[in-house]
Amino acid sequence: MRKTFLAIIILCITVSCNRAKDYQQVIHDPVLYSHLTGQLTEIMTFNIFTPPVASRVYAYSHLAAYEVMAKGDSNYASLDGQLKGFTNIPHPETGKQIDYPYASMIAMMEVGKTLTFSNATMDSIVNALKELAIEHGMPDSMESQSKAYGLSVAKAVLAWSKKDNYAQTRSAAKYTVPEEEGKWIPTPPAYIQAVEPHWRTIRSIVMDSANQFAPPPPATFSKDSSSEFFRWAKQVYDTVNNLTDEQKAIASFWDCNGFKVNIVGHAMFATKAMTPGGHWMGIIGIICKDKKVDLSKTIHTYTTVAFALMDAFISCWDAKYTWALIRPESVINQYIDPNWKPFLQTPPFPEYTSGHSEISSAAATVLEHLYGTEVSFRDSTERGWGWPDRPFRSVREAADEAGISRFYGGIHYSRSIAVAKEQGIRLGNYVMTKLQTDKQRTKLAAQ
């Protein structure tokens, strides 16, 4: 975790370089919140959290921060009573000195620490945060009372998280690969068993059920070269065999493979990268900074997008394990070209529909609700993995590119990407319609 501790030092230097700043200027800086989210991403990357599991950590961590923030900002409404079984969130005690931004960060980090099992690392980050606050003039009593309140909200969120069926899925039966032709089978090079086959049983955050936005059935598997399904596979084969440099760059930029298996001679080793959800968390930080939004809106943005991400993974995984559709690599190797390889490494779970496409589309839809449809930005999230920045004219353009990247990578049929995009749009709109977070909007609607 050397990189994490280095990041803590850089964080401290960044926000405390101006000694004239008081604690409100330092702790209330939305960029600091984005830095802390980045630390959470780094911890999950280091510990190889799967994309669905990472989305769960983001959702609960940001929910804790949001609930604290909403108690201190009259423009935002608590989600107490709006989410399934999410009730009785603590209020601050009368007479206590609470710095809500500080308490929000404490709550977020406490939930993140608990769900990632990274006590020492997270405690070091929180201690650095405390030093910043005290150094810049936050009274000791305010610091301790704010921390206590943040921890009380975190405790309530964690208690709610324990009822989402996650623990039960850790001991559930392993996935049995169907013997039926056309169904998913493990793929090279490591032939890893199916990832999170029971994720659709996780309690959703905003959706009513895992299959609320179920896609239509995929084309029926067929080896007939004139069939729709075979044309899907042949399209992948032909495209990957003729990729342009730009298409390769797009596929690589959005790969976000948290556990890529590499084989060199007789040696096998894995390389890590952040999850696709982590990529969108990074985009949020960029947009919030570009737009110069305050801390409350920054927290609100992270929270609503995190909800969409978690529900999108539940929705997508429901489709994946409902249809258990075979991957292009398996079809092409068996019926077209036994020596063919995709440009990207095929992930270890069924094909239909595309997770990248659905979660990116859902995230972009939420961001469009919050910032409009013409938000341009420069995506620098992949610098740490050696990929150059990519400019986008809108979040929709970025989401569409994330989706098509999986086709260029040779790991998804184009139809799966298109269908997943529509799933994500519907889901994102539902999240923003169902949640009542804006008090002013709620009051106007009631009049």
Residue bearing the bigger pLDDT, 366 or 260: 366
Integer-rounded Cα radius of gyration of the chain: 22
pLDDT at 272: 79
Pairing of strands 260-264, 390-392: unpaired
pLDDT at 447: 35
Contacts of 289 (CB under 8 A, 6+ apart): 30, 31, 34
Work out whether the CA dihedral 44, 66, 420, 175 comes out positive or negative: positive
Are 205 and 52 within 8 A, CB to CB? no
- CA distance linking residue 351 with residue 356, whole number of Å: 11
For residues 335-350, average pLDDT: 97
- CA distance linking residue 382 with residue 140, whole number of Å: 39
Are 380 and 444 within 8 A, CB to CB? no
Neighbours of 183 (CB within 10 A): 15
**In CATH, which of 1.10.10.10, 3.40.50.300, 1.10.606.20, 3.40.50.720 is domain 2-164?**
1.10.606.20
* 289-318 pLDDT per residue, tens: 999 999 999 999 999 999 999 999 999 999
CATH fold match for the domains 2-164 and 209-446: yes
| Residues paired with 226 in a beta bridge | none
Q: What percent of the chain has pLDDT over 70?
A: 91
Lowest mean pLDDT among 20-29, 144-153, 369-378: 20-29
For residues 228-241, average pLDDT: 98
Lowest mean pLDDT among 38-42, 205-209, 256-260, 399-403: 256-260
Q: What residue segments make up the domains of the chain, in order of their start?
A: 2-164, 209-446
pLDDT at 443: 46
Read off the tokens for 430: 């539902």
* 313-340 pLDDT per residue, tens: 999 999 999 999 999 999 999 999 999 9
Question: What CATH number was assigned to the domain covering residues 209-446?
Answer: 1.10.606.20
Are 330 and 413 within 8 A, CB to CB? no
pLDDT at residue 444 tops 70? no
Lowest mean pLDDT among 36-45, 248-257, 269-278, 385-394: 269-278
**Band (264; pLDDT cuts 50, 70, 90):** low
Are 83 and 431 within 8 A, CB to CB? no
